[in-house]
A and B are shown apart, each in its own frame.
Chain A
Amino acid sequence: MNLEINNLFVHAEDKKILNDFNLVVKKSEIHAIMGPNGTGKSTLSKVIIGNDHYVIDKGDIKVDGKSIKDMPTYERARMGIFLCFQSPVSIDGISNSEFIRTAMNANTDKPVGLYSFIKDLETNIDNLKMDKDMMHRSLNQGFSGGERKKNEILQILMLKPKLIIFDELDSGLDVDSLKIVCDNINKYLKENPDTSVIFITHYTRILNYVKPTHVHMMNNGTIVKSGDFNLALEIEEKGYNE
């Protein structure tokens, strides 16, 4: 999936957040956006998926050449855009498996067969080293931070999106869980090579596991520097201020 963001200006309430933001992500590319707190990184992820809390004042967001800026969130998701949340919500009374199957059915024309669904779900749960019981528990209810993140990855493996935005994926993940999660992401990208990825992160830790093709530094709502993985190493060494 190709993503193109042109001259984007965004505000929420009285605050300007994105300020002439430009980004092109072509299919199969892995981009990392790094930057200090409060610079608009998470806002960017929410604007791409269409959170109506944020108002686009100017500019456009195009996917495969088509403008999506007036499209509702569910349509963007159905096109194959997936936001992996920093803090996924929990919902009582809806089992995890029921939620995933409902989402899968929403994203396809024909109903998902129960047998193939269970088979795929169990395989992916095993691969992510998740507790099988979590499938029958309420969505993210009582899950630890790491379990919630694994559950987001599980949804990726089941829903098979074409553009994935990871918002601070590494927060809440211990070293072992981070490796398991990244192994699964790498496997998914190998099996679905056209998938585009945006990592929003503060640290290079995760980028050592999933190597980005492009790295951008963001400040005050816009990209101020772009490069390859060496830029991430430079940021790690010198910080954002130099």
Chain B
Amino acid sequence: MNKLNIVDESKNIILNNDCYLLEVNKDMHVGFEVNGDNKLVIIGNDSHLNLYFLFNNENVNTLVVNCIGKNISIDVKGSLFTDSKLIFNYGVLANKDSINTYDICHMGDNSISELNNGGINLSNNKLYFNIDGRVYQSITGVECRQNSKIINYGNGDSKIIPNLIIDTNEILASHSAYIGTIDKETKFYLESRGLTEEEINNLFVKSIILGKMELGEEASIFNEKIKEWW
């Protein structure tokens, strides 16, 4: 993985057919230009991230983002032109307010976005996922998908607001949202395999944070971080 060092926030980072690692410990604003097939791994701690993704309009461009953090929040904006694909997997563990927003605009045919969010709300804080997917008129072959899940461990205020703003007829779009505690049936299944409540919680935190991520070489770092944060 190429480690990214953001020196000047006013300049866009060019992602060019590779895998990148970004570690963030302070508030940051970063713009990315996506060329080719890319993966971006983000690990954050106590910070707010403003991320903007611009997909090159000339080629088939793909970006998979696997982003995890403790007490972080994100503000993601993306413009997807023809044949662009953005898969954004996000997992957050929060005992402070974490307001997260997405604004993803499909501006070209056959563009695909899939936003998968998992949150653990540990305390009495806010944990929000506000997700907007926009598809403009006359665009065809678009897929726009949103999946979000929040598990409350305390009495926090958790919200998921999924919006699909669609101005075209031919599209595959879906959203799912779940807020709750660990469901009884799942807990019983895990207990029946000999796991205590603590072991179930450990597994669950990992399950929510990592969600649908397909992990590569970041797997061991993510696992260590989750262990450290939990």
> Do A and B truly interact?
yes
Which residues of A come within 8 Å of B, CB atoms? 46, 49-51, 53, 72-74, 77-78, 82-83, 85, 88-89, 91-94, 99, 102-103, 106-107, 138, 155, 159
CB closest residue in chain A, given B202: A102
Contact with A along B169-207 (1 / 0, CB 8 A): 000000000000000111011011111100100010011
**Residues in B206-230 with C-beta less than 8 Å from chain A:** 206-213
CB distance from B115 to the nearest CB of A (A): 15
A91, closest chain B residue (CB): B207
Q: Count contacts between A and B, CB distance < 8 Å.
A: 65
A74 touches B191 (CB 8 A): yes
Q: A85-B189, A93-B211 are in contact. Are A53 and B194 (CB under 8 A)?
A: no
Decide: B203 and A89 in contact? CB cutoff 8 A: no
Closest A residue to B212 by beta carbon equals: A92
9 residue pairs, one from A and one from B, having the closest CB atoms: A93-B207, A73-B191, A77-B194, A93-B210, A103-B193, A106-B194, A107-B194, A89-B189, A78-B194
Nearest-Cβ distance from residue B192 to partner chain A, whole angstroms: 5
What are 15 contact pairs spanning A and B, CB under 8 A?
A49-B192, A51-B188, A53-B184, A73-B192, A77-B191, A85-B189, A85-B192, A88-B189, A92-B211, A92-B212, A93-B118, A93-B211, A94-B206, A106-B193, A106-B194
Known: A92-B212, A93-B210, A93-B211; 13 extra A-B contacts, CB below 8 A, are A53-B184, A72-B191, A74-B196, A77-B192, A77-B193, A85-B189, A89-B186, A91-B207, A92-B149, A93-B118, A93-B208, A93-B212, A102-B203
A residues near B211, Cβ cutoff 8 Å: 92-93
B193 touches A159 (CB 8 A): yes
B114 to chain A, nearest CB (A): 14
- B23-47 interface bits toward A, Cβ cutoff 8 Å, 1 = contact, 0 = none: 0000000000000000000000000
Give A88 Cβ to nearest chain B Cβ, in Å.
7
C-alpha gap A79/B188 in the complex (Å): 16
Q: Are A103 and B206 in contact (CB under 8 A)?
A: no
Q: Which residues of B sit under 8 angstroms from A103, Cβ to Cβ?
A: 193-195
Which residues of chain A are within 8 angstroms of B188 by Cβ–Cβ distance?
Answer: 46, 51, 73
Q: Establish whether residues A91 and B194, one from each chain, have CB atoms under 8 Å apart when the complex forms.
A: no
What mask results when residues 108 to 123 of chain B are scored 1 for a CB within 8 Å of chain A, else 0? 0000000000100000
Of B184, B194, B195, B213, chain A has the most CB atoms within 10 Å of the CB of B194
Is there an interface contact between A89 and B185, defined as CB atoms closer than 8 Å? yes
Q: Which of A83, A92, A93 meets B192, CB within 8 Å? A: A83
Nearest CB on A from B91, distance (A): 8
- B186, B189, B193: most-surrounded residue (chain A CB, <10 A): B193
How far apart are the CA atoms of A78 and B195 in the complex, in Å? 9
Could you say which of A51, A92, A94, A159 has the most chain B C-beta atoms within 10 Å of its C-beta?
Answer: A92
Task: Tell whether, in the assembled complex, residue B184 and residue A94 are in contact, meaning their CB atoms are under 8 Å apart.
Answer: no
Taking the closest CB of chain A, its distance from the CB of B85, in whole angstroms, is 20
A53 to B189 CA separation, bound complex (whole angstroms):
13
**From B219, which residue of chain A is reached at the shortest CB distance?**
A95
- Give bound CA distance, A38 to B198, whole Å: 34
Alpha-carbon separation in the docked complex, A73 to B196 (Å): 9
Chain B min CB distance to A139 (Å): 8
| Residues in chain A near residue B194, CB distance under 8 A | 74, 77-78, 103, 106-107, 159
| B208 CB contacts on chain A under 8 angstroms | 93
Give the distance in Å from the alpha carbon of A8 to the alpha carbon of B213 in the complex: 46
The residue on B at minimum CB distance from A137 is B214
Which residues of chain A have C-beta atoms less than 8 A from B186's C-beta?
A: 89, 91
| Complex CA distance for A201 and B203, rounded to whole angstroms | 32
Residue of chain A at shortest CB distance from B210: A93
Assembled-state Cα–Cα distance A102/B211 (Å): 18
